Amino acid sequence: MPLLEDPPVTAALPKVIEFFAGVGLARMGLEQAGFRVTWANDYEPDKYAMYTAHFRDEELGSEHTFDLGDVFAIDRTAVPRDAAIAWGSSPCTDLSLAGSRGGIRAGESNAFWGYIEALKQLGDDRPPVVVLENVVGLATSHGGDDLTAAIRAFNELGYSIDVLAIDARRFIPQSRPRLFLVGAQNPPVETTVPNPELRPDYLSWIYEDETLCTHRAELPTPPASLTTGLDAYIEPMPVADDRWWDANRTELFIKSLSPIQSERIAALRRATGVTYRTAYRRTRNGVATWEVRPDDIAGCLRTARGGSSKQAVVKVGNKRIQVRWMTPLEYARLMGAGDYNLEGARTNQALFAFGDAVAVPAVAWLGKHYLMPLATGTLGAADRQTAVV
């Protein structure tokens, strides 16, 4: 009788089902933390095209299914029932401070309830751990009512909720604060004073509301926020590259700066050596202006369907200034996905996809220090409780 082949190493890894997968940056972070994503869903064909081109699951024979379509219309009988974690990065359009602020039941952000319905349909086979990732605006949307509604929805499914605020700036030179709701059927009992680096004061009311089932896990302090490092993420480009704006457009850029910003750029221009900064175009009193960040990190990358949301690179020093739009590779690098396969992706397709995603290293840190110990029963294992709803 022939010997059985050894099973793949991945067979023992905890499985994840991923809602609102986008181009798979959450998957990248989770897999860095030791998980295996076996199922994903998103409704945007452009993101699906990038996802499949990068991960090549079908070509490589990976155990992975991508369900392309609206979260409300997925085949819920096909959602795997053996996952350790469900991850959902639901649309932030109506929750973001830069968006409509319509709330969790408005527009695209209403898709959160499709995530809840899908989990509900899994019944007793729901993963023991769930995650919701979204913008920090969720904490203040409708005076906190939207965050309360989200927590209560998870509570009704048997999950106690912990809420963390993590800025990608702790890992990469991009200002990108996000909320992470971590739900556990068997949450750890609190043993220490909660870490204010992860749970700032504006989240304290959540744990004081006795109508909500919450917990605060003991976690290590994350790395300090970066204040420098942008230059290492900028794509090298010759001075004569036609992606740099011409003299007239560059002069219009300079003229649009406020007096304070203009002097700041002038000082950098006089300096020896090259400095990089990022800039956004804003509308102030009906006039389009440019605002340049004063520090050596990027502003928060956003979806690039409108010109004002695109981020520009400013190269200044040695009496020269050059300006251009940020490239897809730079967006990928600033999301912690510098090795992402961009072949075949259109520029705006890539910019939108990365601007609408979660930073890989933030997910990897959360996965390593919280989700993996929680999923494997080693987080607070000596003293655990069952979520009471």
pLDDT in tens, 109-161: 688 899 999 999 999 999 999 999 999 988 888 788 889 999 999 999 999 99
Axis crossing angle, helix 45-55 with helix 347-355, rounded to the nearest 10 = 90
Write out the H or E segment, with its range, that includes residue 113.
helix 112-121
Q: Identify the pLDDT of residue 190.
A: 82
Which positions are annotated as active-site residues?
A: 92
pLDDT average, residue stretch 190-217: 92
Helix, strand, or coil (residue 282)? strand
Q: Which residues contact 284 (CB under 8 A, 6 or more apart)?
A: none
Please give the Cα distance from 215 to 195 (Å, whole number).
12
pLDDT in tens, 20-31: 999 999 999 999
Q: What is the DSSP letter of 286?
A: T
Share of the chain above pLDDT 70, in %: 89
Q: Identify the pLDDT of residue 307.
A: 45
Q: Identify the pLDDT of residue 109.
A: 63
pLDDT in tens, 45-72: 999 999 999 999 988 999 999 999 999 9
pLDDT average, residue stretch 13-26: 97
Q: Identify the pLDDT of residue 7.
A: 38
Domains of the chain: 9-225+354-375 (3.40.50.150), 236-326 (no CATH)
Please give the Cα distance from 103 to 96 (Å, whole number).
9
Q: What is the DSSP letter of 4?
A: P
Please give the Cα distance from 297 to 319 (Å, whole number).
22
Please give the Cα distance from 379 to 17 (Å, whole number).
21
Other C-beta atoms lying within 10 Å of the C-beta of residue 298? 28
